[in-house]
Structure 1
Amino acid sequence: MSDLLTLAGIHTHIGRYHILHGVDFVVPEGQTTMLLGRNGAGKTTTLRTIMGLWPASSGHISLAGQRIEQRATPDIARLGIGYVPESMAVFSDLTVKENLVLAARDGPLDDSRLEWIFGFFPALRRFWLSRAGSLSGGQKQMLSIARAIVEPRKLLLIDEPTKGLAPAIVMALIECFAEIKRRGATILLVEQNFHVAQQIGDAVLVMDNGKIVHRGDMAELANDSAAQERLLGLSLETHQ
Structure 2
Amino acid sequence: MTDLLTLSGVHTHIGRYHILHGVDFAIPEGQTTMLLGRNGAGKTTTLRTIMGLWPASAGSITLAGQRIEKIATPEIARLGVGYVPESMAVFSDLTVKENLVLAARDGAPDTARLEWIFGFFPALKKFWLSRAGALSGGQKQMLSIARAIVEPRQLLLIDEPTKGLAPAIIGALIDCFAELKRRGATILLVEQNFHAAREIGDAVLVMDNGAIVHRGGMADLANDIPLQERLLGLSLEAHQ
Give percent identity, aligned residues only: 86
What secondary structure is seen at the aligned counterpart in 2 of 1:147? helix
Distance 2:177 2:200 in 1: 7
Aligned to 2:46: 46
Aligned position for 1:27: 27
- How much does 1:59 deviate? 0.3
Moved more, 104-113 or 62-71: 104-113
State how 1:91-240 maps to structure 2 within 5 Å: 91-239=91-239
Counterpart-to-counterpart distance in 2, 1:130 and 1:22: 45
The structural deviation recorded for 1:238 is 3.6
Q: How many residues are aligned here? A: 240
CA deviations 1:192-239 (Å, max 9, x no partner) are 112210111000000000000000000000000000000012224445
For residues 68-107 of structure 1, the aligned pairs below 5 Å read: 68-107=68-107
Distance in 1 separating the partners of 2:60 and 2:227:
30
Following the alignment from structure 1 to structure 2, what is the Cα–Cα distance between the partners of residues 237 and 198? 10
1:15 aligns with 2:21: no
Q: CA deviation at 1:107?
A: 4.7
2:66 is aligned to: 66
Mapped to 1, the partners of 2:19 and 2:182 lie a distance apart of 34
**How far apart are the structure 1 equivalents of 2:124 and 2:236?**
33
Contact 2:120 2:173 in 1 (8 A): yes
Distance 1:209 1:70 in 2: 24
Q: CA deviation at 1:106?
A: 3.7
Secondary structure of residue in 2 paired with 1:20: strand
Match of 1:21, SS state, is strand
CA contact (8 A) 2:8 2:24 kept: yes
Describe the superposition over 1:171-190 as per-residue Cα deviations: whole angstroms up to 9, x where unpaired: 00000000000011000000
Q: Retained in 1: the 8 A contact 2:192–2:239?
A: no
Tell me the secondary structure at the aligned position of residue 177 of structure 2: helix
TM-score normalized by the length of structure 2 = 0.98
Higher alpha-carbon deviation: 215-224 or 101-110: 101-110
Deviation readout 1:11-36 (Å, 9 max, x if unpaired)? 00000000000000000000000000
TM-score (norm 1): 0.98
Counterpart CA distance in 2 for 1:237 and 1:188 is 21
Q: Distance in 2 between matches of 1:208 and 1:150?
A: 33
Query: Partner amino acid for 1:205?
Result: L
Q: Which runs of 4+ in 1 moved over 3 A?
A: 236-240
Q: Which amino acid aligns with 2:98?
A: E
